[in-house]
Amino acid sequence: MANDVTVTISMLVKPDKLETLLSMIPDLLKETFSRPGVISVRALRNPDESLRLMFLDVFASIEASNAYFGWRRDRGDLDRLVSMLSEPPRIEVWPVSIGPV
């Protein structure tokens, strides 16, 4: 899609919260994928740094991305997530695709 937006969320999980968060991921991905404007969702784990996780989400537009994160914030999901992390998550928005479509 020409106007899609990729959002990466990189996080370092507290050791005592890792298993809890890992068990939540399938439902989080299903919830995310069910939201309007979500094209794809993935969760990744770094094998060399087992506490490092990344969500890779593609939205149809910046507006869809903003609506999604507003929904998560309003529900308190972002605060719950941050409480499980050793440092603030790094959220990056990538609205420009380079290369063939």
Domains, the chain:
5-94 (3.30.70.100)
Q: How far is CA 95 from CA 58, 64, 70, 78, 101, in A?
A: 10, 12, 18, 22, 14
pTM: 0.88
Backbone angles phi, psi at 92, to 5 degrees: -125, 140
Q: What's the pLDDT score for residue 45?
A: 95
* Least confident residue range of 21-25, 53-57, 60-64, 96-100: 96-100
1: pLDDT strictly greater than 80: no
Please give the mean pLDDT across all residues of the chain.
93
